Amino acid sequence: MTFEVKVPQMGESISSATISKIYVKEGDFVEKDATLIELETEKVNLVVSAPESGFISKFFVKDGDEVEVNQLICNIEAGTKNDAKPQQKEEIKSQEVVSQSGNPTQISPAAQNIINNKELDSKSIEGSGRNGLITKPDVVNSTTPKVEQKSASTQTTMQSTTNNFGEESQVVKMSSLRRTIARRLKDAQNTAALLTTFNEIDMSPAMAMRKKYQEDFQKKYDVKLGFMSIFAKAASLALKELPAVNAQIEGDNIIYKNYCHISVAIGTEKGLVVPVIRHCDKLSFAEIEKEIINYAKKAKNGTLTPNDFVGGTFTISNGGVYGSMLSTPIINPPQSAILGMHSIIERPVVVNGEIVIRPMMYLALSYDHRIIDGKEAVTFLVKIKNYIENPERMLLNC
């Protein structure tokens, strides 16, 4: 029986992807759920697995191909390793590797298939067979780590060019994610009437609250209290009071959202991603922190899914973690506003007629002036300032 493996549905608004890596070849035997290929979409990387055990009879794509949803990737002939045809057995004969000790080691076909499918480091597996042959039980019982995957940037082929002065440059093809980021940012500039308003916040009260309750908070919830959860909570309360900032334009209509799904910008090796914390207004500080940590881990491990990015109504970006003092962030369409956090820097400020040193942060709110008036934008930012400088207001919602 032949199984057709096709490009799966990849989430809201994603219709195409790039083949970033192929893990098997024609003639290979694969177990059910073994990884066949990796797809790079405009948001995340996804893997396509084997629907059944069998042999790869035909591949219809290659590395770097642009593919559409439901496009045929390969065919799998159902079966077991014992069903292999003579010529297929010849293709997967024992391979030789150099072990950590420096000696050449043979690997049985069954063991090699498992090593390929699980991406194991064969050099650290000790063989128990004759003359050190690595057998299937050796691989199954091994605790060897996976082979470290190279990042997309290192997998990309680079071309060198030299100008008339003998100066060399490298030309690297943009990844699908980077192309999408570039397109969306430019579309936002071309479509929205972008405007940015600024304010500054005295972080002393928030910092004092963290210092006072951090130990008890961490002991109870097993997570640290960070500034992002404090700002996310403040923003969600302000969005409730100023619904236009939480709305979006759709054709000739304005869609007002009765919920707060806040997108949190997270930096990765491949670019900025903005997974969504849903119903942020209903979550506690601890619940928000756990959501952020979970997304950060998934981003690092490359396990974010398209559904993690769906439905955001407002975005928060913290450029301060990179040392940014001030910026004008660009909105994340179809959202209408984005809050930019920045570095906390001690500066002289006037308090009650006296010059004092306080830890200050500049805040920036970029917004679509087609839907949000200046008064609403400024009021929104002032409300966040009041919440952060008076954290008890977030408990009282006033």
CATH number for the domain spanning 230: value is 3.30.559.10
Burial of 346 (0-12, 13-18, 19+ CB in 10 A): exposed
Determine the 3-state secondary structure of 223 from DSSP: coil
| pLDDT the model gives residue 153 | 38
Rounded to whole angstroms, the Cα distance separating 312 from 43 reads: 14
For the chain, give me the number of helices (H) and strands (E)?
10, 23
Lowest-confidence region among 87-96, 234-243, 348-357: 87-96
Rounded to whole angstroms, the Cα distance separating 196 from 208 reads: 29
Comparison of pLDDT for 269 and 2, the residue scoring more: 2
Whether 229 maps to a domain, the answer reads yes
Q: Residue 217 is inside which H or E element, if any?
A: helix 204-221
Comparison of pLDDT for 65 and 93, the residue scoring more: 65
Task: Please give the tally of structural domains in the chain.
Answer: 2
- Looking at residues 241-266, what average pLDDT do you find? 94
Burial of 374 (0-12, 13-18, 19+ CB in 10 A): exposed
Do 378 and 363 form a contact (C-beta atoms < 8 A)? no
Whether 40 maps to a domain, the answer reads yes
Whether 117 maps to a domain, the answer reads no
For tokens 């797809």, name the residue: 39
Together in a domain, 232 and 363: yes
Rounded to whole angstroms, the Cα distance separating 200 from 340 reads: 11
User: In Å, how far from its chain's centre is CA 179?
Assistant: 15
Whether 44 maps to a domain, the answer reads yes
Rounded to whole angstroms, the Cα distance separating 6 from 269 reads: 28
Whether 353 maps to a domain, the answer reads yes
Do 310 and 43 form a contact (C-beta atoms < 8 A)? no
Q: Which of 44, 74, 92 is the C-terminal boundary of a domain?
A: 92
Q: Which of 30, 62, 92 is the C-terminal boundary of a domain?
A: 92
Together in a domain, 363 and 232: yes
Comparison of pLDDT for 265 and 373, the residue scoring more: 373
Rounded to whole angstroms, the Cα distance separating 218 from 293 reads: 14
Whether 219 maps to a domain, the answer reads yes
* Phi, psi for residue 316 in degrees, rounded to 5: -120, 130
Together in a domain, 215 and 342: yes
- pLDDT confidence bin for 282, thresholds 50/70/90: very high
Whole-angstrom CA distances from 72 to 8, 35, 56, 285, 308 are 10, 16, 13, 45, 26
- pLDDT confidence bin for 109, thresholds 50/70/90: low
Q: What is the CA angle 81-82-84, rounded to 5?
A: 70
Do 84 and 56 form a contact (C-beta atoms < 8 A)? no
| pLDDT the model gives residue 201 | 97
Whether 43 maps to a domain, the answer reads yes
For tokens 């990796």, name the residue: 38
- Looking at residues 168-190, what average pLDDT do you find? 80
Q: Mean pLDDT for the chain?
A: 84
Do 314 and 320 form a contact (C-beta atoms < 8 A)? no
Determine the 3-state secondary structure of 388 from DSSP: helix
Lowest-confidence region among 10-19, 219-228, 245-254: 10-19
pLDDT exceeds 60 at position 278 = yes
| Residues paired with residue 314 on neighbouring β-strands, in sequence order | 262
Do 290 and 299 form a contact (C-beta atoms < 8 A)? no
Together in a domain, 244 and 374: yes
| Residues labelled catalytic | 369, 373
Q: Please give the share of the chain, as a percent, with pLDDT higher than 70.
A: 85
Domain range for residue 207? Answer: 192-396
Whether 320 maps to a domain, the answer reads yes
| pLDDT the model gives residue 176 | 67
Determine the 3-state secondary structure of 206 from DSSP: helix
pLDDT exceeds 80 at position 103 = no
Q: Which of 92, 110, 138 is the C-terminal boundary of a domain?
A: 92
- Looking at residues 71-86, what average pLDDT do you find? 79
Rounded to whole angstroms, the Cα distance separating 248 from 374 reads: 16
Together in a domain, 381 and 233: yes
Together in a domain, 348 and 225: yes
Q: Residue 134 is inside which H or E element, if any?
A: none
pLDDT exceeds 60 at position 236 = yes
Residues in Cβ contact with 153 at an 8 Å cutoff, skipping those fewer than 6 apart: 172, 175, 269, 270
> What's at 34, amino acid-wise?
A
- pLDDT confidence bin for 147, thresholds 50/70/90: low
Rounded to whole angstroms, the Cα distance separating 356 from 370 reads: 40
For residue 52, the domain's CATH number is: 2.40.50.100
First to last CA, the chain: 66
Together in a domain, 341 and 217: yes
Question: Going by DSSP bridges, is the β-strand pair 337-341/314-318 parallel, antiparallel, or unpaired?
Answer: parallel
pLDDT exceeds 50 at position 152 = no
Do 358 and 202 form a contact (C-beta atoms < 8 A)? yes
